[in-house]
Chain A
């Protein structure tokens, strides 16, 4: 429960953070707590992936990208600070509605839960059971790399 609350608070901080850098740190904290939860639920390898990729690699990528952006002027910051809270007006409403629906519906009764095959070998899961998804991930990476080339390449006269 403590971990779930911590993760939720970190996620809210990420979304409502005033600066991109603080939001990135919030995201890293959220991922780190999530990886602890995954570990406690009995999937240590998934927790390792979550920690190394989402907490580590993604945070580094975000911070690197933020460092390439132009910082906002003082006037822009003041203007954004004035207006930003209006954007979050729906957040407490949605949170309250979701909490009400979850409390009202309670634990699912009569749900016939299925126990799938118990597989402990990550290699078997990735390369044997989910080959098509691994192929899809490779294609996604190729598409992402091509997207970076297309969207960030300089034009003929050096224009970006």
Chain B
């Protein structure tokens, strides 16, 4: 089986659920669930399933340049888990059956886009799949068709269009020196032309486009509105995987492609530090649960960018590990947010209070997510943040390591405030009838919380299984 099946199978699923009208609608949820589970299995065992030699099987007929490496495996596993969580959450949202069906279709199309981003080895193909993800994200953000959703979607669309222009301009400039748009040719060409002002400008402009996609300060303007105003399952998707694959994963990939220079590392470190601080302080003053988590996402993505900016194999591994951990604990917190929104009818934290008794599973899983986000041992977030700080220290970036530690304290501050306001204390007025959310929301939160705990506890095994292959991948 070939990597291209990961983008062909979702297309067959789209046809399978749309062509037979009634049967397809009934089976859409289960087919999509099976698809995401299969994607994860294929990704984890890709070396057994996928032939990597050129022009083999389907790839001879469908001549494409797709491949999976350890970085791709991490992204594909995150995609599978977050997509399944989002699908479960969508079952318990106030959507009618046709709307749920359309949501499932959009989710599967988005998975094609994200799989393409992860596996593409050509910069123009990468751009095309980024656009697929952007278009489906825009539609999903505006899904409720209320004024806030449309505003958030419009902001996202406008900034995404600017990112598109940046990327196309950059590709055009790179084509001056590269014979085609494949990563191999670009890498060869940059060995001789990397010092040219036109090429430096092209790389900078391309990265600006990715910073917009990833919601990194100061390109984050669309993110809080998009996260806060989109429906709950869409917020899970955006925060858990979309901005990470479209923004951060692609930054890691192009940094490996363009080469990690001192100037590039300085830019990444500066923007990463600013994102970490601005996101953390902005989250402090929020009353809207989802908006608070949106600013928290900006801050956490800043940590990933700091790891990349360290410029060492340890830094890159730490960035990838935090990429995975953030996908898990942030999705968990947004799933908790979906449960709260559904049961209380509000996202305002000041109107909530004392909900730990009424919603024990949501309460406990949010504690797990909160502690991991704040970097408390032995949860997963602690290890990835620690590795980022160690990588920065080893690279001689002491100030940035200090900023990362300081922002961790601020992170603990706003997340503890969130816990206290929402779950601790006396039950707030008007919350008497609140009960635990349905199985469809509780189950993904339990699974995600278990992953966060197990990842933390099994960290030494992960270090052995992933860090060394990633280090080898980076140094060769």
- Pick from A115, A144, A151, A156: contact of B179, CB below 8 A: A115
Chain B proximity of A150: nearest CB distance (Å): 5
Evaluate contact between A139 and B113: CB separation under 8 angstroms: yes
Evaluate contact between B109 and A142: CB separation under 8 angstroms: yes
Q: Does A92 have its Cβ within 8 Å of any Cβ on chain B?
A: no
Identity of the chain A residue whose Cβ is nearest the Cβ of B173 in the assembled complex: A108
B56-71: which residues lie under 8 A (CB-CB) from chain A?
62-66
The 5 closest A-B pairs by CB, nearest first: A136-B128, A147-B139, A116-B179, A132-B64, A114-B179
Q: Does B106 have its Cβ within 8 Å of any Cβ on chain A?
A: yes
Task: Take A131-B62, A132-B122 as given contacts and tell me if A137 and B128 are in contact as well, using a CB distance cutoff of 8 Å.
Answer: yes
Evaluate contact between A111 and B198: CB separation under 8 angstroms: yes
Interface mask (B131-163 → A, CB under 8 Å = 1, otherwise 0): 110011011001101000000000000000000
Q: Does A5 have its Cβ within 8 Å of any Cβ on chain B?
A: no
Evaluate contact between B178 and A136: CB separation under 8 angstroms: no
Q: Does A93 have its Cβ within 8 Å of any Cβ on chain B?
A: no
Q: Count contacts between A and B, CB distance < 8 Å.
A: 93
Evaluate contact between A139 and B64: CB separation under 8 angstroms: no
A95-121: which residues lie under 8 A (CB-CB) from chain B?
105, 108, 110-117
Contact sample, A vs B, 7 pairs, CB 8 Å cutoff: A112-B189, A114-B177, A132-B66, A136-B116, A136-B125, A136-B129, A143-B106
Identity of the chain A residue whose Cβ is nearest the Cβ of B139 in the assembled complex: A147
Chain B residues contacting A147 (CB-CB under 8 Å) are 135-136, 138-139
Q: Does B53 have its Cβ within 8 Å of any Cβ on chain A?
A: no
Chain A proximity of B400: nearest CB distance (Å): 30
Number of interface residues of A (CB under 8 A): 29
Chain B residues contacting A115 (CB-CB under 8 Å) are 179
Q: Does B300 have its Cβ within 8 Å of any Cβ on chain A?
A: no
Evaluate contact between B178 and A114: CB separation under 8 angstroms: yes
Report, as a range, how many residues of chain B touch the other chain.
35 or more
Evaluate contact between A113 and B139: CB separation under 8 angstroms: no
Q: Does B464 have its Cβ within 8 Å of any Cβ on chain A?
A: no
Main DSSP-derived SS at the A contact region: helix
Known: A150-B139, A151-B142. 17 other contacts (CB 8 A): A105-B198, A108-B196, A111-B196, A112-B189, A116-B180, A131-B63, A132-B66, A136-B131, A139-B113, A140-B131, A142-B109, A143-B132, A143-B136, A144-B135, A146-B139, A147-B139, A149-B102
Chain A residues contacting B7 (CB-CB under 8 Å) are 135
- Complex Cα–Cα for A146 and B136 (A): 9
- Complex Cα–Cα for A142 and B105 (A): 10
Q: Does A128 have its Cβ within 8 Å of any Cβ on chain B?
A: yes
- Pick from B96, B113, B198: contact of A108, CB below 8 A: B198
Evaluate contact between B66 and A146: CB separation under 8 angstroms: no
Q: Does B257 have its Cβ within 8 Å of any Cβ on chain A?
A: no
- Complex Cα–Cα for A133 and B130 (A): 12
Interface mask (B35-75 → A, CB under 8 Å = 1, otherwise 0): 00000000000000000000000000011111000000000
Evaluate contact between B64 and A146: CB separation under 8 angstroms: no
Chain A residues contacting B105 (CB-CB under 8 Å) are 146
- Complex Cα–Cα for A136 and B62 (A): 13
- Complex Cα–Cα for A101 and B179 (A): 27
- Complex Cα–Cα for A130 and B122 (A): 10
Interface mask (B344-367 → A, CB under 8 Å = 1, otherwise 0): 000000000000000000000000
- Pick from B113, B124, B197: contact of A133, CB below 8 A: B124
- Complex Cα–Cα for A42 and B94 (A): 56
